[in-house]
Amino acid sequence: MVVENNIAELANLTLDHRMDPKNEAQFIDITDHLKALAAKLAPETVVKEATFNLFEGTYALEVCNVKLDTSLIELCPEELEFDCNVPYGDSNNGERLDYVTAVCDRLCRSLMNWLHDYQTLPTTVLSCRYVEFLMELYTSNPVSSLQSFQGLRTRDPLYDQVLCSFVIGVCSFIKFTSKVLKDGGVYEEEDLNCNVMSLDMLSGVDTKEVIDLLNSSLQLLVQSYSESTHLQKLVDLVKHLLHLPNYHYPSCQSSVSSDLLPLQKSLDIISSLVQDDYTTKQHSYPPGCFSKGIQKRRDNNFPPKDLFEPKGDEYVSYTEFMRDIIAALSVKDCNTAFEIRQYVWFFNRIRQRTVMARALLQSYLIREDTILDKFRFNTFKDMHLYEFSLAGTALYDVISSREQTTDRDNMIEALNELSYCLLRWYQNMPQNSCRHRQGFNRLLLDWDSVQAQFEQYETQWQSMGIVDSITNMGNIPLMPVSTWIYTTKLLMMIEFTLEGFHLEVYKPWESFTQYWFCYYLSSHLESNLKRLHEFLLQKISYILNYNKRIKKLKAGEKKENAKARYRHLTDNVLPQLRLNERTVNFFFMKCTIFKSLSLAQVFQFALLKSFNVIDSKNDVSTRFSSDRLIHKLRFKTFSSIGIPEIPTFEQFQKSLNDFVIEPPSIHSKIPKLLNFMNTELESAKSALSTIIQTIETGETDDSPVSTGTKHVKEPALQWYKSMLNSTVALSVNASVLKTKLSEDLKSHDLHATYDVELKFTPNGCYYFPLLTISPKKARNALPHTT
Amino acid sequence: MVEIRYTRFDISNDMEFSTIKKLIDEDLSEPYSIYVYRFFLNQWPNLTYLAWAEGSGKPIGCIVCKSDTHNGVRLRGYIGMLAVEKQYRGRGIAKKLITLAIDTMIDEKCDEIMLETECSNAAALHLYENMGFIRMKRLFRYYLNQGDAFKLILPITEKSCVRSTFLGMDSFPTDTIL
């Protein structure tokens, strides 16, 4: 009856309807107006707010669409009636302690489900009614001290003190994590979803106060609840998590901690929690305590989603989480630019590190304009140059001179332009593997541009008399800065190319082109390194023979000056030159490894091509495009690169033909091809063994190479051992291919017989998946969606 | 074998709109709001095609696309949605729908066609890659179901193969469609 009356009243309303000041609940029926206006619209018209675009649209919630409208979520009676101010459980039989422990345990696990398993906050931590209740309280009254915070009012200290402080601790950690995310380094949504549903996560509360509160709870548990061991560990763990802001530069600008002991201690707590074997299935919490209700009640930009139930391995994940963070912060132990470079390169190499560790590495390493608060960024860039190609050069003598001149200042200013490129390189390394490759796509533009710029600068500096010639190479100029830039750029080009295999971007038919290109780039890198190596030997020889020159001088000021210079050269320059020579040797070995493994892949591709099993062109319809255009698109990243010249489509095709075995007697020629391949693989093995042995035994002045991996030993060893495994796997794979291809000695066209796949080998390097063949399968299934 | 005919979407036909929505909603991992459908279908009705089975009063498959300027330098066609009813799969309907859409996008001078698909959707990857699309990049946790995606591109003109930074609309030939 009430409804009917309302409908009748609504029907009488018009746009001219006058508001009745006594009746607050008034509505105006605009149906007719809407219909009249809609009738005038063309069918294709979209009525929308001007700023609402497709991106907004994909996040829009559609009323009454059960897949999108969170208000349609149905809650059970326990969820509807749940009251955070009721002390659930029997106070006499320990049920309350069980309940509180279970809630805290699940919250701890939920944190890991969010941070480690990439789940969202509303389906994990925020699904806890106590979290929602307490943060709503705080949001409506954001106090600056917890002393004036209302909290829970069950009149049971387990709830009001322990559970409340625990929730506050967890929320304070979420606040910190959001801050880490906002400060950049990792990507919202894909790396971490920080949707706090417009709740204020204790913005005004100091972490120290939260830690004090957790300490009080711990004290209470120890004193009054003898059966609370598991709960005590959980409280202790959250308390230790709140030490993390001490290592985050923007969170504590004045004194970023370098003491990792609290984090080591947290590993002990986690280990103890793993041993507890406390499973969520054995323990229950108050019914309705974890609920989808928050998605229904609060702002939500996401479609309804089921709660993420803990899987049971969360404390194992905590171990990895904390170890990754400790690994990230251990970058502090590095002393040289090369060590830091190597540390950052290997940090995220074997597997993608947990998002918090990747974010913390960046903020801990790069603190405004310094590195680790040890070196200003421009100095750090100079260190990179000095530790590679600048030591012992005439250019270094000028820029390190005490005498200030306009030319020197201009040179320093020019060199400082490199700092930005270097900074971007460091920021790119801890990204997730997809972003990491994309990052190179952009970085290559910058580095190619600075290379062109510095070749001009260094030519100009030569004309000013600052010359570093390589005598044994026809007095060609070294150009130390350009040499470093070119090396870095080539390494990025190689990495970008090989990461495509890791991310499964390439199809098997593309592998020849990519590996041949990698071989080509490595050869250019090798030539570049040879120039530098020759220069370093020349300089070392110059210093070693300097003494003979002194002997020829007459006693006097000139001789004394020469002696002083000799001391400076032997004490300072010579050790660095020798170290740089070992570093260059390391890069030479990297070249050998890349070249040999790539060439082995090229040989195997050529073997398959010889039997028409595969071709380096897409074996499909190119009705809409062409092989040449598809090739050009694949090499788009390098389309603007000046040096080295990028081979044309035709050059790639010709190269493949050079490797292919021509009839007649294809089978009898296979062993020769495999012999070539195995010789290459032996070179790679030898280089890898040298690197591995050097890392394992520790680097000395007598080591053949300098790897700079002293502080990142384990990941570096794993990386090179995975390459060694790939070397073996490639050799075995070649034999397998030979056997399969030789099954029918009369057939040289096996196109219709075999499918080719790129397969990762267990423990092998993901840059070198194997080209494998299997009997062709019929394909009927078709896709349904994109 | 039931004969399949293909038509272009008629924006004034509500049944066609609601059937497209139903076909996509049933299969897609991402739930789309009505706005997403309207965004595509109202602005680019000419880039949506339907497949009809003989005797069926409603479409049994559809492809939904758009085309607009990318980075202000090239015209990019985009395949947003593709669906074929389960009982009609395996008959080349999806391939035909894609072909119709690409032909129209080429007629409209698109420089490239782009789409994203889940890395785990082997069938979709196989179909598109057999038409000349290549995987340009992998997108980490692109979908709401946490899955990674591949971004696939089919180059139509030279413009597709040049970095946007070096591509000026005025200086580059626009009539190089193959």
Confidence of residue A1 (pLDDT cuts 50, 70, 90): very low
**pLDDT score of A97:** 96
Cross-chain residue pair A54–B39, CB shorter than 8 Å:
yes
Q: For A170-206, what is each residue's pLDDT tens digit?
A: 999 999 999 998 887 899 888 998 999 999 999 999 9
CA angle B108, B112, B115 (to 5 degrees): 110
Q: Report how far residue A520's alpha carbon sits from residue A524's, in angstroms, rounded to the nearest whole number.
A: 7
Tell me, yes or no, whether A207 and A321 share the same domain: yes
- Indicate which CATH number applies to the domain containing B50: 3.40.630.30
Q: How far apart are CA A661 and CA A664, in angstroms?
A: 9
Q: What is the pLDDT of residues A616-674, one digit of tens each?
A: 888 777 789 999 999 999 999 999 998 999 999 999 999 999 999 988 888 888 999 99
At A588, list the tokens: 């030479």
Which among A282, A309, A326 is the end of a domain? A326
Q: Where are the beta strands (DSSP E) in A526-607?
A: none
Tell me the C-alpha distance between A427 and A424, whole Å: 5
Q: Which residues does chain A have within 8 Å of residue B159's beta carbon, measured at their own beta carbons? A: none
pLDDT for position A12: 54
In angstroms, the separation between the Cα of residue B121 and the nearest Cα of chain A is 8
Tokens 């050097």 appear where?
Answer: A694
In a domain, residue B105? The reply is yes
Instruction: Give the whole-angstrom CA distance, residue B105 versus residue A394.
Output: 59
Distance CA A145, CA A212 (A): 12
Within-domain flag for A79 = no
Shortest Cα–Cα distance, B40 to chain A (Å): 9
User: Is A785 within 8 Å of B160 when comparing Cβ atoms?
Assistant: no
Same domain, A362 and A317: no
Same domain, A289 and A418: no
Q: Among A326, A346, A363, which residue terminates a domain?
A: A326
Q: Is A618 within 8 Å of B129 when comparing Cβ atoms?
A: yes
**Please, are residues A167 and A210 in contact by the beta-carbon 8 Å criterion?**
no
Q: Which pLDDT belongs to residue A34?
A: 86
Give the bridge partners for A129, in sequence order: none
How many Cβ pairs closer than 8 A exist between chain A and B? 193
Residue A222, phi then psi, degrees to nearest 5: -65, -40
Residue type, A60: A
User: Environment class of residue A319 by beta-carbon count within 10 Å: exposed (0-12), middle (13-18) or buried (19+)?
Assistant: middle
pLDDT in tens, A552-584: 888 888 889 999 999 999 999 999 999 999 999
In a domain, B120, yes or no: yes
B142 with A190: Cβ contact below 8 A: yes
Report the gap between the CA of B87 and the closest CA in chain A (Å): 11
SS3 B75: strand
Mean pLDDT of chain A: 91
> Do A294 and A440 have their domain in common?
no
A14 — pLDDT class (breaks 50, 70, 90): low
The mean pLDDT of A79-83, rounded to a whole number, is 97
Residue A468: name the closest of A415, A535, A531 by CA.
Answer: A535
Domain identity same for A474 and A546: yes
Task: Give the distance from residue B55's alpha carbon to the nearest chain A alpha carbon, in angstroms.
Answer: 22
Q: Do A100 and A226 sit in the same domain of this protein?
A: yes
Question: How many structural domains compose chain B?
Answer: 1
Nearest-angstrom CA–CA distance, A635 and A520: 14
Radius of gyration of chain B (CA): 17
Burial class (CB within 10 angstroms; exposed 0-12, middle 13-18, buried 19+) of A718 = middle
Chain B environment of A68 (Cβ under 8 Å): 31, 33
Q: What is the token pair recorded at A584? A: 């260059």
Chain Cα centroid distance, residue A119: 18
Whether residue A435 has pLDDT greater than 90: yes
Quick one: average pLDDT of A241-261? 90
Cβ contact, residue pair A60, B124, below 8 Å: no
Q: Are strands B74-84 and B112-118 parallel, antiparallel or unpaired?
A: parallel
Identify the sign of the CA torsion B31, B34, B40, B45. positive
Q: Is there a contact between A707 and A694 (Cβ–Cβ < 8 Å)?
A: yes
Q: A633 and B161 in contact by Cβ < 8 A? A: yes
Q: In whole angstroms, what is the distance from residue A647 CA to residue A448 CA?
A: 17
B132 and A623 within 8 Å at the Cβ level: the answer is: yes
Residue A604 resides in a domain: yes
Q: Is residue A501 part of a domain?
A: yes
**Tens-digit pLDDT profile for residues A85-94:** 999 999 888 9
Q: pLDDT tens digits for A19-71?
A: 565 665 667 788 888 888 888 887 777 777 777 776 677 677 788 888 889 99
- One-letter identity of residue A716: A
Residue B18 lies in a domain: yes
Query: Contact at 8 Å (CB) between B18 and B59?
Result: no
Find the domain containing A60 and state its range: 7-70
A708: left (phi over 0), alpha (psi -120 to 50) or beta: left
Q: What angle do CA A579, A326, A176 make, to 5 degrees?
A: 125
Euclidean distance between CA atoms A514 and A733, whole angstroms: 19
pLDDT in tens, A211-242: 999 999 999 999 999 999 999 999 999 999 99
Least CB–CB distance from A60: residue in B33, B79, B115: B33
CB atoms within 10 A of CB A15: 9
Residues of A in contact with B11 (CB under 8 A): 43-44
Question: Residue A423 corresponds to which amino acid?
Answer: L
Residue A8 clears pLDDT 60, i.e. is over it: no
Judge whether B31 and A65 are in contact, CB under 8 Å.
Answer: yes
Chain B residue closest to A623 (CA)? B131
> What residue type is A434 in one-letter code?
C
What is residue A665's predicted lDDT score, i.e. its pLDDT?
80
Q: For B81, which of A45, A507, A786 is closest by C-beta distance? A: A786
Q: How far apart are CA A65 and CA A507, in angstroms?
A: 40
Are residues B153 and A633, on separate chains, in Cβ contact within 8 Å?
A: yes
Token reading at B176: 């190089």
A134, A152 in Cβ contact below 8 A? yes
Closest chain B residue to A42, measured at CA: B12
In chain B, residues with a C-beta closer than 8 Å to the C-beta of A634 are 134
pLDDT at residue B124 in the model: 95
Q: Tell me which amino acid residue A573 is.
A: V
Given the structure tokens 């209700």, which residue do they identify? Answer: A293
Contact assignment for A639 to B161 by CB distance below 8 Å = yes
Last residue in a domain, options A311, A326, A341: A326
Q: Model confidence over A295-351: pLDDT tens digits?
A: 999 977 788 999 999 999 999 999 999 999 999 999 999 999 999 999 999 999 999
CA torsion, ordered A129, A130, A131, A137, to nearest 10 deg = 110
Angle between helix axes A229-241 and A207-224 (nearest 10 degrees) is: 170
Q: How confident is the model at residue A27, as a pLDDT?
A: 73
Q: Is A412 part of a structural domain of the chain?
A: yes
Within-domain flag for A75? no
pLDDT band at A3 (very low <50, low <70, confident <90, very high): very low
Query: Minimal Cα distance from B44: which residue of A?
Result: A44
Whether B32 is in a domain gets the answer yes
- In single-letter form, the type of residue at position A521 comes to L
Provide, as residue numbers in chain B, all residues whose Cβ is less than 8 Å from the Cβ of A618: 129, 132, 134
User: Which positions in chain B touch A191 (Cβ < 8 Å)?
Assistant: 140-141
Residues of A in Cβ contact (< 8 Å) with B117:
783, 786
Structure tokens at A181: 């995310």
CB contact under 8 A, A44 and B136: no
Specify whether the CB–CB gap between B36 and A58 falls below 8 A: yes
Classify residue B109: in a domain, yes or no. yes
Residues A45 and A136 in one domain: no
Q: Rounded to 10 degrees, what is the CA torsion of B51, B54, B55, B61?
A: -20
Q: Kindly state the tokens that stand for A428.
A: 């790119």
Instruction: Quick: pLDDT tens for A495-550.
Output: 999 999 999 999 999 999 999 999 999 999 999 999 999 999 999 999 999 988 88
Please indicate, yes or no, whether residues A66 and A113 belong to a single structural domain of this protein.
Answer: no
- Residue B158, classed as helix, strand or coil, is helix
Parallel, antiparallel or unpaired: strands B4-8 and A770-775: unpaired
Percent of chain A scoring above 90 in pLDDT: 76
Position A780 pLDDT exceeds 50: no
The structural domain count of chain A equals 3
Asked if residue A782 lies in contact with residue B94, where contact means CB atoms within 8 angstroms, the answer is: yes
Asked if B84 lies within 8 A of A784 by C-beta distance, the reply is yes
Residue B38 lies in a domain: yes
Counting Cα atoms < 13 Å in the Cβ hemisphere of A208 gives 3
Strand partners, B117: B150
Record: contact B43-A626, CB cut-off 8 A? no
Domain housing B104: 4-163
Give pLDDT, residue A357.
96
- In A277-376, which ranges are continuous DSSP H helix? 293-297, 314-329, 337-347, 355-365
Same domain, residue pair A358 and A466: yes
For residue A756, the cross-strand partners are A773
Pairwise pLDDT comparison (A597 vs A546), residue with the higher score: A597
pLDDT at A556: 87
Do residue A57 and residue A197 come from a single domain? no
A65, B124: Cβ pair inside 8 Å? no
Cα first-last separation, chain B: 35
Strands B59-70 and B74-84: what pairing?
antiparallel
Say if the Cβ atoms of A633 and B160 lie within 8 Å: yes
Per DSSP, the three-state class of B84 is: strand
Tell me which of A482-486, A693-697, B37-41 is least confident.
B37-41
Confidence check: pLDDT of A84 > 60: yes
| Residues in chain B with pLDDT values less than 70 | 29, 168-178
Distance CA A329, CA A263 (A): 10
Are A651 and A717 in a shared domain? Answer: yes
CA B26 from chain centre, in angstroms, equals 17
> In one letter, which amino acid is B49?
Y
Does any domain span residue B172?
no
Integer Cα distance of B63 and A523 in angstroms: 47
* Domain assignment of residue A750, yes or no: yes
State the Rg of chain A over Cα: 33
Give the containing element (helix H, strand E) for B69.
strand B59-70
The residues, ordered by sequence, that sit 6+ positions from A384 with a Cβ below 8 Å of its Cβ are A337, A338, A341, A422, A484
Do A275 and A386 sit in the same domain of this protein? Answer: no
DSSP assignment of A104-134 equals HHHHHHHHHHHHTS---STTTGGGBHHHHHH
| Residue listed under structure tokens 């020579």 | A581
Pick the residue from chain A with its C-alpha nearest to B159: A633
A81 in any annotated domain: no
- B177 occurs within a structural domain: no
State residue A404's pLDDT score.
80
What is the value of pTM for the model shown?
A: 0.92
